[in-house]
């Protein structure tokens, strides 16, 4: 048996593979799927109330995103994100997003920037109610929506891939310690600077916002290190 908590079975819609993949991503963020642990498709399928096929297909999608890796004859291992990995992903994102934020501030119309406000406010609302998944979804749409204003689809795709690969696991504590609310408010401050035409200030807001991602890893790893060794090895069955 795996260590996963029972969850509500997923219905069988037309795009079951996508729904399973979304559920697995949510489980990664919540910490129900732990880094370094191998999970079998049949065990996960039983917990989600679906057949093993869509689970295997969804896991292949997550493999391409760098979130898990296939383990022959066993299942899939959740990828462990090292401090160096996160440093490198965050550095690349900053190299792209900080100057792009400045450029968008100088070139985008007031109306197009204001169109980002509902996403920023959605992230604040999600943080206020402790909805980590809702916050991450709003954060994702806000950042990619901002970058899209630069008119470079390749740039947006690159950052989207970096965001997937640097996604942290087990972040449920962030809604309790206020970190989520602080990150959400940064979206509003960033947007206000952009609307005011302050390109330098907007770049600094983005730089600080991205730096916050780097501060999340140590707490997560310390939490995992406190687990007994047996707990870290579970999940392959």
**What residues form DSSP beta bridges with 197?**
none
Whether the pLDDT of residue 170 is over 70: the answer is no
DSSP category for residue 2: -
Beta carbons of 180 and 132 less than 8 angstroms apart: yes
Question: Measuring CA to CA, which residue among 173, 177, 206 is closest to residue 189?
Answer: 206
Enter the tokens of residue 53: 């096929």
Q: State the SS3 of 110-141.
A: HHHHHCCHHHHHHHHHHHHCCCHHHHHHHHHH
Judgement on whether residues 102 and 199 belong to the same structural domain of the protein: yes
Question: Judging by DSSP bridges, how do beta strands 38-39 and 75-78 pair with one another?
Answer: antiparallel
Q: Where does a domain end: 80, 98, 120?
A: 80
- Residues 6 or more apart whose CB falls under 8 angstroms from that of 237 comprise 1, 2, 40, 43
Same domain? 21 vs 126:
no
What pLDDT digit, counting tens, does each position of 3-28 carry?
A: 555 555 555 555 888 899 988 988 88
Residue 75 sits in the same domain as residue 92: no
Task: Please indicate, yes or no, whether residues 62 and 107 belong to a single structural domain of this protein.
Answer: no
The answer to whether the CB of 10 falls within 8 A of the CB of 23 is: yes
Q: What is the CATH number of the domain that holds 99?
A: 1.20.120.530
- CATH number for the domain that contains residue 21: 1.10.10.10
Regarding predicted confidence, which is higher, 32 or 126?
A: 126
The model carries a pTM of 0.74
Q: Which helix (H) or strand (E) is 39 found in, with range?
A: strand 38-39
- The residue behind tokens 């985008």 is 108
Q: What is the pLDDT of residues 52-99, one digit of tens each?
A: 999 999 999 989 888 889 998 889 998 887 888 888 999 999 999 999
| Same domain (yes/no): 25, 137 | no
């Amino acid at each position: 048996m795996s260590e996963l908590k029972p969850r509500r079975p997923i219905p069988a819609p037309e795009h079951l593979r996508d729904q399973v993949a979304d559920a697995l991503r949510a489980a990664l963020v919540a910490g129900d799927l732990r880094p370094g642990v191998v999970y079998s498709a049949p065990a996960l399928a039983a917990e989600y109330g679906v057949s093993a096929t869509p689970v295997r297909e969804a896991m292949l999608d997550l493999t391409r995103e760098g979130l898990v890796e296939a383990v022959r004859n066993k299942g899939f291992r959740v990828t462990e994100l090292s401090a160096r990995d996160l440093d490198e992903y965050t550095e690349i994102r900053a190299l792209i997003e900080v100057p792009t934020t400045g450029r968008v501030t100088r070139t985008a119309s007031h109306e197009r920037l204001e169109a980002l406000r509902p996403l920023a406010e959605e992230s604040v609302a999600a943080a206020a109610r402790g909805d980590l998944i809702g916050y991450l979804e709003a954060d994702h749409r806000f950042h990619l929506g901002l970058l899209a204003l630069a008119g470079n689809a390749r740039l947006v795709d690159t950052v989207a891939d970096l965001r997937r690969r640097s996604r942290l696991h087990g972040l449920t504590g962030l809604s309790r310690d206020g970190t989520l609310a602080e990150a959400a408010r940064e979206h509003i401050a960033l947007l206000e600077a952009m609307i005011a035409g302050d390109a330098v200030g907007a770049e600094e807001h983005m730089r600080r916002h991205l730096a916050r991602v780097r501060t999340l890893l140590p707490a997560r790893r310390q939490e995992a290190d406190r687990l007994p060794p047996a707990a870290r090895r579970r999940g392959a069955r």
